[in-house]
Amino acid sequence: MKKLLISLLFIFLLSSDGFSETIASYNCLRLGQSKKDYPTLAKTISQFDITGLIEVMNVEGLIRLVDTLNTNSKIKWNYIISDKKVGRTIYKEYFAYVYKENKISLVRPVGFYEEFADEFEREPYGVYFKMNNFDFTFVLCHLIYGNSINEREEEARNLVYVYEYFRKMTSDDKDVIIAGDFNLGANNEGFIPLIQRSGSIHYMINPTFKTTIGATGLVNSYDNIFISIQYTWEAEYGAVFVPDIADYKIYRKTVSDHLPVYIKVKTTFDDD
């Protein structure tokens, strides 16, 4: 009953504001490589104005997703994808973004985080966007899962440098949004350096809310969005979008083993 009430609350929050001015992050489970129910995936993504995608395996899968969005919507959709795959092993993936063209007026790639000691299995990637009067740098991360929680915590501790890097790269814009699949709950001590940065960085998704899908229900709280409440005061709230799932086992194989997380932002004004 508790899970049902939480799910209904999230759905109400989305439906009550018309799905407008929303920024989401979504691990879409090996897009372009695994068997995929594109109509169901597109239906979920269509709820948001812009979605950062994790686990994009090839551009063909991304194009098919965008074509599905355009086929089933009166709104024109577009995309941007990182210029290369990242990963230390044979497994590598792209970062990508899909967005409504009528909502986004400017798209400018910032690029990958420049490592100084191979800190990340997959270097975070950022793109500068302008949505109405709100401009922001949207940084996507997919932290290592590895063989132990220590490996994940080590990467999480380095996210403070990611934040500083993208702030420096876009010095005129103070709104840096870091989102993705962190393979850790946001209340893990690995995030302390990031959260304590100037005392203004906060996670937007309550880490007690589950964001990954198991065979019979929701399991872990791995997905989140971090913002500076000092600079990104336009953010109103963050939540998890929970679609109707008839069979968790099938859904996690054909759509994704994660749920999208999102923030609602005011775009009429910008403080930069």
Query: Residue-wise over 44-62: b if at least 16 C-beta within 10 A, else e?
Result: bbbbbbbbbbbbbbbeebb
In a domain, 240, yes or no: yes
Residue whose C-alpha is closest to residue 99's, from 75, 121, 116, 120: 75
Residue 114 lies in a domain: yes
- Round to whole Å and give the CA distance between 125 and 216: 33
Residue 213 DSSP class: B
Sequence-distant (6+) residues with CB within 8 A of 106 are 128, 129, 130, 135
Does a structural domain hold residue 271? no
CA distance 59 to 42: 16
Other C-beta atoms lying within 10 Å of the C-beta of residue 247 = 11
What does the alpha-carbon distance between residue 84 and residue 92 come to, in Å, rounded to a whole number? Answer: 9
Query: What's the pLDDT score for residue 271?
Result: 63
**270 domain residue, yes or no:** no
In a domain, 272, yes or no: no
Q: What are phi and psi of 2, to 5 degrees?
A: -60, -45
Interval 168-187 mean pLDDT: 92
Give the number of domains in the chain: 1
Could you tell me the CATH number of the domain that includes residue 16? 3.60.10.10
| Predicted confidence (pLDDT) per residue in 91-147, tens digit | 999 999 999 999 999 999 999 999 999 999 999 999 999 999 999 999 999 999 999
Strand partners, 135: 130
Considering the domain boundaries, does residue 243 fall inside one?
A: yes
Q: How confident is the model at residue 270 (pLDDT cuts 50, 70, 90)?
A: low
Q: What is the reported pTM?
A: 0.92
DSSP for residue 186: T
pLDDT at 3 over 70: no
Q: What is the DSSP letter of 16?
A: H
Mean pLDDT across the chain, nearest whole number?
A: 91
Tell how strand 235-240 and strand 261-265 pair up.
antiparallel
Domain hosting 124: range is 2-265
d(CA 241, CA 44): 8
**Is residue 35 one of the residues assigned to a domain?**
yes
Whole-angstrom Cα distance, residue 68 to residue 74? 12
Is residue 61 domain-resident?
yes
Q: Do 231 and 212 form a contact (C-beta atoms < 8 A)?
A: no
Question: How far is 2 from 10, CA to CA, in rounded Å?
Answer: 13
pLDDT at 254 over 90: yes
